[in-house]
Amino acid sequence: MENFSAAGLLYLVATAFFILGIKRLSKVKTARSGNQLSAIGMLIAIVVTFAFPEGGAQLDIKTMLIGIALGGGIGAIMAKRVEMTGMPELVALLNGFGGLASTMVAFTDFYGLAGDGSNTMLGAEVWSVAIILSIFIGTITFTGSLMAMGKLSGKLSGNPVLLPMRHLLSAILILGGLGIAGYGLFTGNFDVTQSVYILIGCSALFGIVFVLPIGGADMPVVVSLLNSYSGIAASMAGFVIGNSLLIVAGALVGASGLILTMVMCKAMNRSLANVLIGGFGGATGEVDNSEYASVKSAGPEEAAMILESATSVIFIPGYGMAVAQAQHVVKELGLELEKRGCQVRYAIHPVAGRMPGHMNVLLAESDVDYEQLYELERINGDFKTTDVTVIVGANDVVNPEAIENPKSPIAGMPILNAHESGTVLMIKRSLSPGYAGIKNPLFERDNTYMCFGDGKAFIEDTVTELKDA
């Protein structure tokens, strides 16, 4: 009883650290400390699990330490080696590993009690439901995350792959897997071990079918949703092994991930139902593939001349900034403008980049002041009074088609109203479309200058011209 009381109290402390950590993660300024608080909570959880295993479980400390060393070592190497441009696919992969871990925990516990095909688990309804849900959601998370990683890394096409009768196939996989597993576990009229194998197979296939129809532009929503799935799977695994903290921690991740998913859906004008059933992200509506009629371009010297007289500048970062690794020179340009008395701000679209918060992470890496980062809702009304907007590698999130053409595939999607500013400097390698695959009329607006070239090199040259002015 003393051990149980001590474990319960320490688990409560760890939960408090998790909650405080997640709360502080909601703001850029406090995100780093929030991450540290969550890490402390996880450390407490691991130590308590070692010291006071729940349910009288016997822990093989040597095996667990080997696992921690291997996993921690591989994780540290990946974190050091992966470039910031590869962070979205790394996050997707880690989500997948979380789902796989939950599946393995549930399957191991199940196999230990029912591997011989006996019906010893019948009557344990909560345990059986937890087994089914943990394996089902965990496996979907794993295979779905692998697909998302492939799309984000370019190893798989970022275009939606629309399978024939995909919704019917999805329904068969979901209902078939859950139905057979439930029938085997609750009635014993079907081999329980085989029923779980079938559940794993159906779940794995559904994870693939679920992500295939989703276009690359919608990957931030998918990554967020899969993060939520990994938390729910972990929570179910907690019910399976009787670990109260795993239940709570998984529920926190699942709930926060779902809330973030809903925020991302709103930012892309998608409904949550679209995400849950898959099949969104493809081109719908009328797509204008005509050539651009009148495009004005500017080199670094012209860009410097425009910025030299500006009193207010807003930077809009996009995935192109990540590819060019231009975040540091963007910060340098911002500092040079501030020296001249210019007001500098950074407008962050919720789905800019390839994962939630991608642009925030990049700008934080270059030590941009947190106070200069503005969300879409806070800054959209300020473009009308802004002298120059500098767009670095963004496209779809500034496309006026979203608000001006009701038949556009992105109609209704909230955008940053860069087109309302006095002058727009669009730094981009070419006139190629974004992930939505549609024309951007901003390119040929009277107040827009296309600044062709590598983002980092162009801004470096602009800074040099500005200093020499």
Total residue length of the chain: 469
CA 146-147-150 angle, 5° bins: 85
The pLDDT of 242-251, averaged and rounded, is 89
pLDDT in tens, 399-458: 998 888 888 877 888 899 999 999 999 999 888 887 667 889 999 999 999 999 999 999
> What's the confidence (pLDDT) of residue 217?
65
Phi-psi sector, 269: left (phi>0), alpha (psi -120 to 50), beta: left
What is the pLDDT at residue 424? 96
Nearest of 358, 356, 28, 402 to residue 221 by alpha carbon: 356
| Listed range (65-79, 87-101, 205-219, 391-405) with the worst mean pLDDT | 205-219
CA distances (Å), origin 465, targets 124, 306, 333, 347: 73, 11, 11, 25
Distance CA 236, CA 218 (A): 28
How high is the pLDDT of residue 287? 47
Rounded distance, CA 274 to CA 285, Å?
16
Which residues, including other chains, have CB under 8 Å from residue 181's CB and lie 6 or more apart?
132, 135, 136, 195, 196, 198, 199
- Given pLDDT bands bounded at 50, 70 and 90, which one contains residue 104? very high
Question: Which candidate, 385, 386, 417, 421, places its Cα nearest to that of 400?
Answer: 417
Q: Once rounded to an integer, what is the mean pLDDT over residues 180-187?
A: 85
Lowest pLDDT segment from 100-109, 290-299, 325-334: 290-299
234 vs 228: CA distance, rounded Å:
10
* Residue % of the chain over a pLDDT of 90: 43
The answer on pLDDT for 115 being more than 60 is: no
Q: Between the ranges 112-121, 393-402, 418-427, where is the mean pLDDT highest?
A: 418-427
pLDDT of 279 reads 46
Whether residue 101 has pLDDT greater than 80:
yes
Mind listing the domains of the chain with CATH numbers? 2-277 (no CATH), 300-468 (3.40.50.1220)
In percent, the amount of the chain with pLDDT more than 70 equals 89
Quote the pLDDT of residue 124. Answer: 67
pLDDT averaged over the chain?
85
- Give me the pLDDT at residue 436, please: 67
Quick one: pLDDT at residue 121? Answer: 47
Q: What is the pLDDT of residue 277?
A: 55
Q: Which of 148-162, 296-310, 362-376 has the lowest mean pLDDT?
A: 148-162
Check: CB of residue 142 under 8 Å from CB of residue 105.
Answer: no
pLDDT for the residue numbered 306: 95
Catalytic residues: 396
Per-residue pLDDT of 135-159, as tens digits, reads: 999 999 999 999 989 888 878 877 7
- Residues 195-222: tens digit of each pLDDT: 999 999 999 999 999 888 877 667 778 8
Q: pLDDT tens across 279-305, in order?
A: 444 444 444 555 787 889 999 999 999
CA-CA distance, 442 to 437, in Å (whole number)?
15
Burial (0-12, 13-18, 19+ Cβ within 10 Å), 395: buried
Residue 66 has pLDDT above 80, yes or no: yes
Q: What is the pLDDT of residues 347-358, one digit of tens each?
A: 999 888 777 778
- Region 4-26: mean pLDDT is 86
